[in-house]
Amino acid sequence: MLNISENSIRERSSLESLSSFAKNDLPAANRLLSWWLTGFMLLTIIVFFLPWTQNIQMKGTVTTLLPEQRPQDVNSAIAGRIEQWYVREGDIVEEGDTLVFLSEIKAEYFDPQLVDRTGAQINAKKGSIESYALKAGALLDQKVALESEWQLKKQQLENKIQQTELKQESFKAELKQAEVDLDIASFQYRRTDTLFQKGIKSLSELEAKKLKVQQTQAKLITTTNKLQESSNEIRIAQLQFEAVDNEYANKIAKTQSDRFATLSTLYDAEGGLQKLENQYANYSRRSELYYILAPQSGFITKAIRSGIGEVIKEGETLMTVVPLERELAVEMYVKPMDLPLLNYGQEVRLIFDGWQAFIISGWSNLSFGTYEGMITAIDNIPNEKSQYRILIRSNDPEKPFPELLRVGAGAQGIAMLTEVPVWYEVWRQLNGFPADFYEEDIEKLDDKFKPPVKAVAK
């Protein structure tokens, strides 16, 4: 039975001639199963050697390519009270359309004519500045006039001193003449007196000579007094000359002081004018902020504040505006282990929530319902979950993202890497190894979305 003996009987007998062996043969189903198992094993071996595209699977949401195309909160720049709504959720608005009207709640802005009154204050301050400017100009003219008068006064005193000096010279000449005349008169008197003693001259002649001497002495004294008086006049004129310098220097200094004080007041008034103009601009701008306008064209959604009479704070959000025109993109988050495998311009297959798709990640050619994308930005800083954000835009002009796709919708992405055999991918997955690192030619991006040179992976 076991056929373990060295003396086999197979050569001497035929088992097929025995009816019992014919009745115990294997059924056809068992043979078919063996063929199926053999074929499956061969197919499995063949599949293991087929090419498989390594990939990185990610999840994310739909966003826009440009920041200004994303949903924007409409905030109030000032604190106020809601008086009237001009829109409701779902309305389509154009840029600059009025959304809400606010009223003032701060006491310093209650005056309805605040802007006009501030404008009147500005006009009054301008008039004051003009008056100060005219006063400063008049003081400058006064200073010039005083300087001119000072020079004239000095010239007048110089002329007076010069005239007095000339007069003094005349008096000196007269004094010398008087001294000579006195000497002559005295000599004649002595001579006449001698002749009178001898009886040659008469008494009347002697008295006449004596009178002549007295007259000459009187003239000498008068001339001496005049000479002294002229010297005094010169000294007085010199003192007046010095006094004029001090007097007009004080007057000019006082005029300068008044002028500088006026200019100081003028500059203070100009500073006050600038402050008033600043207030006027602020008040005018604040009055424009009572009407909250649409920052861009879009439709209204998510009104956070509602009703009439509600008080809002500065910077508080009232509603959200979703732009009408936008270029959709997808933001995905990848693990740090997969980040070095991604490059700018790399292909990514996208699946959107709500759109049917059939996909085999390793054989993208057999998938349908997916959309082709391209990596256009990679963040250099991880988020709070230690994941890196990448931005993907459409890369297939013939099959763009669905028109009904909305911002915030869920999406899944598969970044295509290099091709490897199936058995290698199975072995890698079982061992938990990362995908193979490789380098490829980066697709040339538009200048508008070209990343910084330092950020490009090399």
Taking residues 273-292, what's their average pLDDT? 90
Q: What is the DSSP string of 377-421?
A: EE-SS--TTS-EEEEEEE--TTS---TT--TT-EEEEEEEEEEEE
d(CA 202, CA 192): 9
Instruction: Give the residue carrying structure tokens 């008197």.
Output: 189
390-402 pLDDT tens trace: 999 988 888 888 8
Give me the domains of the chain, ranges plus CATH numbers. 51-69+326-455 (2.40.30.170), 72-104+291-322 (2.40.50.100), 114-288 (1.10.287)
pLDDT band at 3 (very low <50, low <70, confident <90, very high): low
Lowest mean pLDDT among 10-14, 146-150, 257-261: 10-14
Identify the bridge partners of residue 349 per DSSP, sorted by sequence position. Answer: 372, 414
d(CA 292, CA 100): 5
d(CA 289, CA 437): 56
Taking residues 56-76, what's their average pLDDT? 87
290 vs 430: which has the higher pLDDT: 290
Q: What is the DSSP string of 83-128?
A: EEE---TT-EE-TT-EEEEEE---GGG--TTHHHHHHHHHHHHHHH
b/e sequence 145-182, b meaning 16+ C-beta within 10 Å: ebeeebeebeeebeebbeebeebbeebeebbeebeebb
354 vs 285: which has the higher pLDDT: 285
Query: Closest Cα partner for 321 from 99, 101, 102?
Result: 99
Output the six-digit token pair for 388: 């890196």
Q: In this model, does residue 9 exceed pLDDT 60?
A: no
Query: Closest Cα partner for 340 from 372, 385, 388, 376?
Result: 388
1 vs 195: which has the higher pLDDT: 195
User: Who's near 46: CB < 8 A, 6+ residues apart?
Assistant: none
What is the average pLDDT score of the chain? 80
121 vs 326: which has the higher pLDDT: 121
CA atoms within 13 Å, Cβ hemisphere of 188? 17
d(CA 458, CA 454): 10
Taking residues 148-170, what's their average pLDDT? 82
238-246: long-range pairs with CB below 8 Å, 24+: 238/161, 240/157, 241/154, 241/157, 241/158, 241/161, 244/150, 244/153, 244/154, 244/157, 245/150, 245/154
Query: How many Cβ atoms sit within 10 Å of the Cβ of residue 56?
Result: 22
Query: How many Cβ atoms sit within 10 Å of the Cβ of residue 46?
Result: 10
Query: pLDDT > 70: what percent of the chain?
Result: 85
Rounded to 5°, the CA angle 319-323-326 comes to 150
Q: In this model, does residue 456 exceed pLDDT 70?
A: no
d(CA 449, CA 456): 12
Query: Closest Cα partner for 300 from 85, 102, 103?
Result: 85
**φ, ψ at 369 (rounded to 5°):** 85, 5
pLDDT for the residue 124? 92
200 vs 454: which has the higher pLDDT: 200
pLDDT for the residue 458? 38
* Beta strands 291-293 and 51-64, pairing class: unpaired
Q: In this model, does residue 67 exceed pLDDT 90?
A: no
pLDDT for the residue 437? 56
430-455 pLDDT tens trace: 877 667 655 554 444 455 444 444 44
pLDDT for the residue 349? 85
Query: Closest Cα partner for 375 from 338, 337, 325?
Result: 338
95-136 pLDDT tens trace: 889 999 998 888 888 888 888 898 999 999 999 999 999 999
419-424: long-range pairs with CB below 8 Å, 24+: 419/51, 419/52, 419/53, 419/54, 420/51, 420/52, 420/54, 421/48, 421/49, 421/50, 421/51, 421/52, 422/47, 422/48, 422/49, 422/50, 422/51, 422/52, 422/362, 423/48, 423/49, 424/52
pLDDT for the residue 445? 46
Q: In this model, does residue 278 exceed pLDDT 90?
A: yes
Taking residues 156-162, what's their average pLDDT? 81
pLDDT for the residue 4? 61
347-380 pLDDT tens trace: 888 888 888 776 666 666 666 678 888 899 888 8
Task: Tell me how far CA of residue 52 lies from CA of 47, 80, 425, in angstroms.
Answer: 10, 63, 7
